Amino acid sequence: MRCYMILFSLLMNLTGFAKEIIVCESCTLKDLKTAISTAAPGDSIILKKGTYEAVDINLTQPISISSREGAILDGRHQSYIFKILSEDIRISGLTFVNSGRSYTKDYAAIYAYRAHNFSITHNTIINPFFGILLEKSDSGKVVGNTIYGESVREDDSGNGIHLWHCSHMEILNNDISKLRDGIYLEFVSDSHIGDNHSHNNVRYGLHFMFSNHDRYTNNIFERNGAGVAVMFSKYILMSENKFVNNWGTTSYGLLLKEIYDADVENNKFRENTIGIFVEGSTRINYTGNDYLNNGWAIKVSGGCYQNIFEKNNFIGNSFDISYNGKINDNRFNKNYWSSYSGYDMDKNGVGDVPYRPVKLFSYVVNRTPESLVLLRSLFIDIVNYSEKVSPIFTPDNLIDQEPQMNEVR
């Protein structure tokens, strides 16, 4: 009975007597730091409309800081604005400007270290070095924020949302643009990145490494320097994303490097230099994806084994599949190829003639990029046909035995 009374007392202290602290120019409390110093665990600080100086503010106890009127926190170009250093902290509805910039410190508008069960929601962060930087934290939510900068060079900019050594995170419905990487994750596990729009960033829309058991769903990665890079990770689900207009001499929609036991399903790759560039990746299921009007739909480099490409649509790409060697240990089955010219005599929706998606010319272009100017010539059509009849340079077992006559739905 005594234990229940103690628990009830603690809950009352945290919730029953939590108070709202109003801060504004005409209020008793005009300064944010003073309001934080007077707050007790569980209190809510509400900022009225106005601009507040906010330089290196440490949040060390469970509190909520919010604004319904668009309060602006000004970091005076000096350092961090907020540091989340406790559990159960809520930050919502604020606008952050003028956080510090440095070549030796990763200054951020919002920084969290060893934080637990926190939320950063519906804020606007303007031209930061790093927007939101989370380290060694877990069970946090970063939802509905808008983060944008003016970056034009990698060496002079940070990332929009950056996670390092975190777990059980939710990064949802954020809009990030014109930074180095829109979203960056390293050593992040059991997390969900969903419904974000990451666009016009200098390097990657999403960049993650050494991060296992994560889900990436319903994101849009558009007009970034090099699309999305996924490296040295396993047990990944990438589903229902859109990779759009990532163009450049070294650009792609999605880079997979040393990825194992993953699923890439129901995504759209449209108008990228390369839809997917894959290297050293094994046991990945590519299912239900649309590859539309890319330069290369899929470019496969060495060390890729036991992958399955099934029920995808390849439509209007200059090259559907590109290999850099003759060895193939991957399976292509039941895909739709817009360049397939076979027939379907029994009208069952499956082509009667197997399809070879790797053209000899793609093999040539891999070794001599300048030859790309010959892409639409009659000579190249003849070369591709001769290789199709008698494969010498391309993998002879890379065949879709059941090419679909109609787009896969």
Joined together, the tokens standing for residue 47 give 């900022």
Q: What is the DSSP letter of 387?
A: H
Residues 6+ apart with CB under 8 A from 242: 219, 220, 221, 222, 267, 268, 270
Element spanning 383, H or E: helix 378-389
- Looking at residue 9, its pLDDT comes to 46
What pLDDT is attached to residue 360? 60
Structure tokens at 400: 């879709």
Closest to 282 (Cα-Cα) out of 248, 213, 236, 342: 236
3-state helix, strand, coil in the chain (%, to 5): 10, 40, 45
Q: What's the gap between Cα 6 and its chain centre?
A: 45
CATH 2.160.20.10 residue ranges for the chain: 19-225
Contact of 30 with 53, CB cutoff 8 Å:
no
Q: Report the pLDDT value the prediction gives residue 8, as an integer from 0 to 100.
A: 42
What angle do the packed helices 360-367 and 378-389 form, to 10 degrees? 110
Rg (CA), the chain: 26
Q: What is the pLDDT of residue 328?
A: 84
> What is the DSSP pairing of strand 268-270 with strand 242-244?
parallel
| Domain 19-225, classified CATH 2.160.20.10, yes or no | yes
pLDDT in tens, 173-202: 999 999 999 999 999 999 999 999 999 999
Ranges of residues in the chain whose predicted pLDDT is under 50: 1, 4-9, 11-12, 14-15, 370, 373-374, 378-380, 384-385, 389, 392-393
pTM for the model stands at 0.89
Could you tell me if 75 and 97 are in contact, meaning their C-beta atoms sit under 8 angstroms apart? yes
Given this model, what pLDDT does residue 152 score?
A: 86
Q: Which residues contact 51 (CB under 8 A, 6 or more apart)?
A: 71, 72, 73, 74
pLDDT tens-digit profile of 315-327? Answer: 999 889 988 767 7
| Backbone torsion region of residue 134, taken as left when φ is above 0, otherwise alpha when ψ lies between -120 and 50, otherwise beta | beta
C-alpha distances (whole Å) from 98 to each of 90, 110, 123 are 21, 12, 15
CA distance readout (Å), 10 to 15, 41, 42, 85, 117: 9, 11, 11, 21, 18
